[in-house]
Amino acid sequence: MQQFMLCRHLYAHNSGILDEDFVEKYENLTGVDISEDQVIKGLGYPSEDVYFFAPLKSIGTCIENCEQFIKNLP
C-alpha cells in the first residue's frame, strides 16, 4: 500500500517527474535505487526532468492487492 501511495503521489502531484524525495522513498520501500538505472541516467536524471512510468505497468496488481488488504481487515 505504501508503494502504491508513493507512486500515486508522484503522478498526482509531480506529473510523474522524478525528484530526489521520490527516489529516496522508493529505494527505502523497494530496495531499488532507480537513480542508478541506466535508462534513467541516460535520460539525464537528476539534471534533467525524467518521467517515471515503470510503476504504471503494475498498477492493476497494486489496486487488486490494496482491495484485498482492505477486504481482509477485521
CB 23 within 8 A of CB 35: yes
Q: Which residue has the cell 525524467?
A: 50
**Considering the chain, what is the average pLDDT of its residues?**
93
Burial class (CB in 10 A: 0-12, 13-18, 19+), 50: buried
Mean pLDDT of all residues in 22-45: 95
**Which H or E element spans position 42?**
helix 38-42
Query: pLDDT digits over 36-63, tens only?
Result: 999 999 999 999 999 999 988 988 898 8
Q: Which residue did the predictor score with more confidence, 63 or 33?
A: 33
- Percent of the chain at pLDDT exceeding 90: 76
Instruction: Give pTM, 2 decimals.
Output: 0.82
Residue type, 62: C
